[in-house]
Structure 1
């Protein structure tokens, strides 16, 4: 049996589990790949640092360049942009196969990596870059290659899902739920990439590129995180039979002139309680794919964690090792469609707008007129007391909170509605805007 020499770049949470599984399951992996997997080097920052998995000290090195040069297959699990970009380019430029779980790198520099891989006959695999153990990359690229994908949406960040789930189930504030997520290890000390939607946006770009055969970068994705979500938002959603989830949404949009565009966005979303995505709890991930012929499919599973993500890495390693030992090529970048990216202002969805108003005669008609003037149709309106008072020169006036649900409208129209509401003397504050992307 042939031997494939492997260099592992990074021995953190995922890298250490990849090494463990290769050591423990080497016989089965070799039988599946048709080649023995020989870990030749493990690149780390500090060879003396304690590790969760026992690694032969002779394999540990800080010299990434030498490890890459001596390998047949490079597994990059460092994360971030640099030095991974430089190291992956070094491997690909030598015709080496690369397996990575680095969504940030792919979303920012995917085209560059694909081009270097193609120029040098190298293969680039990245199943672990989206949704951990959930095989959605393979599903879109391989299993659904015979269909036309219309939409991909789902929960692709476990940290934000854990936080929103905690707020819903316990009534906790955003700050308290985030602190609990950090205490349990679901959130980093600096949670910005997760809670501001950047991690989900990188994954959204990758999914859109696969689904629509078009180059989509993280810069194309309209992003809104969850840091502004309040306990009141959660309660209002529950009162309407919904939960709030941070969704990544990529869809094929056909305009009236017949042209097709790609719309990509990440934002908190109202999801009906009886929708499958509403019941994705904790740190789990779930992606719904709508195909023209296949209909609706759902991928669900653990979206993070060392061992689950390591299984996705190893699925790529087995395929890559088989090609190295027995011939063949890995998947190529398919961007033949080259669809344009829909401007954010032209994206269409439904909205829930919550505003605090002065509770006096004529205000509701004024607010409705603002929506109508901007071409946004109102589906329903509810009102409750705000339980406070606003002081004016002539005395204290009661205030109320309006919750307005709309029919489908463009983001641009809704933004103008919000601007006009904020300019109105009858509106104290537009306190919340949520979107509604899915039906029960």
Structure 2
């Protein structure tokens, strides 16, 4: 790591001037005195790279060097730290970060996709070249989730980590529950309010949150997770009737990520909508808020909550990493020496209780057919609910049931059998009932 803490001025090269990049420049200017006091040195933006140098971004960029190619920041003179805010697991962002680390230059990034996908390689590159790689802003915006897991719980043995890690999905599910409206309607509202992107795929299909979970799991268990093996589901299949059934049964529906280390060294990890008991603290994390939960051998269960996104909180997290480097504080990427990725346990090995909702033709014998599918898979039903609250037509009705403890493999067998029934309309929804 470069001896930045001994320099009177620490010079940043920022790649990407979107809302977060501009927020970093703005906060460094407006909070200059407070940042100086905490960092022990002045911090200035020496160079930037962005697509359009002529665009008015609302901040003073005069006197700052511009680079048309962000990758040039990796070796440019007069730069102490590269700040990567481009985003994406591949392309320029990856090439810039790898090049900077290879040259022994410290890097700060908010790029969760890059870390989740290539974290093992980047950790090794940083270690081999004596560079630091910090990424507080990659998970939960301004919530200090990285420091919480990697530093605050460093002496503990963590048993599990996870939480509600996407504000867009949490807003949609909260609003669906409170208003009784369907997914598509609430998604359109979220887009109009700026909570969801024009293309919401990364958020509503679970990938944004899954990237964050992979990072938290790597920190909790000391090694990166094989991300392509993680089970990921989004919230598109949740209907208004599911919210009604969940409330009736004493649950709330949340897009939940959870990772646990198994005795054989594999990681049990998933990102999926789940039912959680409404009396738990996590069930009351609402709207655009995020929460990170942990459970340790000594610390027990813990939770931190806050706004998980936005230019202000995320830029603040980036600057917190800059201050750490200014004070000479940098840990190994995953808190320990580089390790090979941990294998994810197959989805079929998951176990627990489950919620199953099926839209069916309202005729005699339907419940018996579904019960037979459960029986054949060795699944015991704990309860059943059927009413007209979510009726789509005069002949179609939603039916919901919850099971006793069983395996995901058994529930996958049930889903296959039910999908083959002539009485079933559309795709059934299977949700895990998670204890948090």
Give the TM-score normalised by the residue count of structure 1. 0.90
Match of 1:50 in 2: 56
Deviation at 1:105?
0.7
Contact 2:229 2:343 in 1 (8 A): no
Work out the CA distance in 2 between the residues paired with 1:146 and 1:58: 43
In the TM superposition, residue 150 of structure 1 has moved relative to its aligned partner by: 1.1
In the TM superposition, 1:313-392 aligns within 5 A as 313-323=318-328, 329-333=330-334, 334=336, 339-357=342-360, 363-384=366-387, 388=393
Q: Deviations over 1:157-200 (max 9, x none)?
A: 11111111121222222111111111111111111000111101
1:237 corresponds in structure 2 to 246
**Distance in 1, Cα, partners of 2:54 & 2:260:** 48
What is the match of residue 4 of structure 2? none
RMSD: 2.2
Out of 251, 255, 258, the position equivalent to 1:249 is 258
2:18 maps to 12
**Contact in 2 for aligned 1:225/1:267 (Cα 8 Å):** yes
Which segment is superposed worse, 7-16 or 66-75?
Answer: 66-75
Aligned to 1:210: 219
- Cα deviation 1:386-411 (Å, max 9, x = unaligned): 57566xxxxxxxx6543210122222
User: Aligned residue for 1:173?
Assistant: 182
In 1, Cα distance between equivalents of 2:422 and 2:333: 57
Map Cα deviations across residues 319-356 of structure 1 (whole Å, 9 max, x no partner). Answer: 11222xxxx64334335596542111111232111224
Q: CA deviation at 1:217?
A: 3.6
Unaligned runs of 5+ in 2: 1-6
Q: Assess if the C-alpha contact under 8 Å between 1:353 and 1:430 holds in 2.
A: no
Match of 1:267 in 2: 272
Alignment of 1:151-170 (within 5 A): 151-170=160-179
Partner of 1:67: 73
Measured in 2, the distance between the counterparts of 1:350 and 1:104 equals 31
Matches within 5 A, 1:356-435: 356-357=359-360, 363-384=366-387, 388=393, 401-424=398-421, 427=424, 431-435=428-432
Instruction: Please name the residue that 2:300 is paired with.
Output: 295
Q: How high is the TM-score relative to the length of structure 2?
A: 0.91
Residue of structure 1 in register with 2:236 after alignment: 227
Structure 2: distance between partners of 1:41 and 1:4: 12
Change (3 A) 1:329 1:359: closer
Taking the aligned partners of 1:250 and 1:416, their CA distance within structure 2 comes to 24
CA contact (8 A) 1:165 1:281 kept: yes
Separation in 2, partners of 1:65, 1:358: 59
Aligned to 1:83, what secondary structure does the other structure show? helix
Structure 2 residue 193 is the aligned partner of structure 1 residue 196: no
Q: Which shows bigger deviation, 62-71 or 226-235?
A: 62-71
For residues 346 and 153 of structure 1, what CA distance do their matches in structure 2 show? 19
Aligned counterparts of 1:76 and 1:95: Cα–Cα separation in 2: 15
CA distance in 2 between counterparts of 1:373 and 1:139 reads: 45
Q: Which moved more, 1:400-409 or 1:328-337?
A: 328-337
Contact 1:421–1:430 at 8 Å: present in 2 too? no
Secondary structure at 1:41 match in 2: strand
Say whether the 8 Å CA contact 1:213–1:337 is kept in structure 2. no
Q: Which structure dedicates a bigger proportion of its chain to strand?
A: 1
Aligned to 1:394: none
- Aligned residue pair count: 423
Name the residue aligned to 1:78. Answer: 86
**Post-superposition offset of 1:25:** 2.0
User: What CA distance in whole angstroms lies between the structure 2 residues aligned with 1:57 and 1:11?
Assistant: 16
Contact in 1 for aligned 2:70/2:92 (Cα 8 Å): no
